[in-house]
Amino acid sequence: MTKGSIVAGFIAPHPPHLVYAENPPQNEPRSEGGWEPLRWAYERARASLEALKPDVLLVHSPHWQTLVGHHFLGVPKLSGRSVDPIFPNLFRYNFDLDVDVELAEACCAEARAMGLESKMMRNPGFRVDYGTITTLHMIRPQWDIPVVGISANNSPYYLTLDEGVDEMIKLGEATRRAIEASGKRAVLLCSNTFSHWHFHEEPALPEDMTKEHPQSYAGYKWDMRIIELLRRGEVEEVMRLFPQWVEEAFAEVKSGAFPWMLSAMGFPKTPAELHGYGTVIGTGNAVMEWNLEAAGA
Ligand SMILES: [Fe+2]
């Protein structure tokens, strides 16, 4: 069997507003549109993903919170309705997805071998969180590629940040080992907003873009600083700044997907491509890609 590989990694944030704005048949609420630049960023990412022809998509979501250990979706087919508890007016989505249970089990076993508390999620009626669903819908609305869903055990919130990040770095290494042994072409998805300062009231028409702008100028400046560093391939500097970034921008990357993905990719020094940036209720969202296959070639 040929060695599997991570062909690309995407920063793929999950504001449910983006799904709402697209009016897909799976989502019940209807919209007039909105957040177009971010949705066009996802269109560029989709074209890139299409060309990569991956066998599997792996997503780490801050909104599947498992306080004890790292959990992996472990049921071959999952369907049901996913509702965003904060924005049930925007996101009531009927999902139907295929899980690559074999690879999920391999990731879980590798994580356990590295000393991480890890577990397979075997509940057939499990309601998949809106972060996982939104990221997967936005990057691949056809839902025709099996997925590995990974929980955020949120260790950076209740351990020290360093200890939590260390867990995510190990989880990334475990993920890479499992992918390499699988022989598959994998794409990683880091389901994270950058600056997470947000408005506390929604406009009467949520998609009224005259009300959309960064909530915090400090948060916006952090977004630009991080994007620029990533575009230059300076991931080491980004990881050095990580604690300050998380603190000052209230960045959602704290939940672990960002260090998980970078670690799995071996902290690549190749420049990341920015597909686009936009705010959603004031939070900063960047769609970015590391095409490792192209970089290797
Ligand atoms: Fe979120």
Q: Looking at the predicted structure, is the pLDDT value of residue 272 above 70?
A: yes
Cα of 15 vs centre of ligand 1, distance in Å, is 7
Distance of CA 129 to CAs 79, 93, 136, 266, Å? 12, 10, 11, 28
Task: Give CA–CA dist 36/228, Å, rounded.
Answer: 22
Cα of 8 vs centre of ligand 1, distance in Å, is 22
Place of tokens 């801050």: 62
Cα of 4 vs centre of ligand 1, distance in Å, is 30
Which band of pLDDT confidence, cut at 50, 70 and 90, is reported for residue 155? confident
**Residues facing 263 on adjacent strands:** none
Query: What length is written for the chain?
Result: 297
Show contacts of 207-210: CB within 8 Å, 24+ apart.
207/17, 207/20, 207/21, 207/31, 207/32, 207/33, 207/34, 207/35, 208/34, 209/34, 209/35
Cα of 1 vs centre of ligand 1, distance in Å, is 38
Q: Looking at the predicted structure, is the pLDDT value of residue 297 above 70?
A: no
pLDDT tens by residue, 77-102: 999 999 999 999 999 999 999 999 99
Cα of 196 vs centre of ligand 1, distance in Å, is 8
Task: Give CA–CA dist 212/202, Å, rounded.
Answer: 10
Cα of 105 vs centre of ligand 1, distance in Å, is 26
Instruction: Give mean pLDDT, residues 238-246.
Output: 96
Cα of 297 vs centre of ligand 1, distance in Å, is 34
* Nearest Cα residue to 10 out of 281, 269, 262, 225: 262
The distance of Cα 54 from the centroid of its chain, to the nearest Å, equals 16
Cα of 253 vs centre of ligand 1, distance in Å, is 9
Task: Give CA–CA dist 105/103, Å, rounded.
Answer: 5
Tell me the domains of the chain and their CATH numbers. 5-296 (3.40.830.10)
- Dihedrals φ, ψ of 279, to 5°? -100, 150
Q: Looking at the predicted structure, is the pLDDT value of residue 154 above 90?
A: no
Cα of 94 vs centre of ligand 1, distance in Å, is 19
In one-letter notation, the amino acid at residue 118 is S
Cα of 79 vs centre of ligand 1, distance in Å, is 21
pLDDT at 240: 97
Tokens of 291: 């095409």
Which band of pLDDT confidence, cut at 50, 70 and 90, is reported for residue 54? very high
φ/ψ bin of 160: left (φ > 0), alpha (ψ from -120 to 50), beta (otherwise) = beta
Cβ proximity of 152 and 257 under 8 Å: yes
Cβ proximity of 38 and 18 under 8 Å: yes
Q: How many CB atoms lie within 10 A of CB 284?
A: 29
Cα of 158 vs centre of ligand 1, distance in Å, is 18
Q: What is the pTM of this model?
A: 0.97
Cα of 67 vs centre of ligand 1, distance in Å, is 17
Cα of 283 vs centre of ligand 1, distance in Å, is 10
Please give the helix or strand (H or E) that residue 130 lies within, else none: helix 130-139
Which band of pLDDT confidence, cut at 50, 70 and 90, is reported for residue 153? confident
pLDDT at 289: 98
Measured distance between the N- and C-terminal CA atoms of the chain, rounded to whole angstroms: 21
Cα of 80 vs centre of ligand 1, distance in Å, is 20
Q: Helices 101-113 and 161-182, interaxial angle, to 10°?
A: 130
The conformation of residue 115, written as its DSSP 8-state character, comes to: T
Cα of 190 vs centre of ligand 1, distance in Å, is 11
Beta strands per DSSP E along 50-129: 56-65, 70-73, 77-83, 92-98, 118-121
Task: Give CA–CA dist 226/15, Å, rounded.
Answer: 19
Distance of CA 204 to CAs 28, 121, 208, 219, Å? 18, 39, 8, 25
Query: Pick the residue with more confidence: 158 or 3?
Result: 3
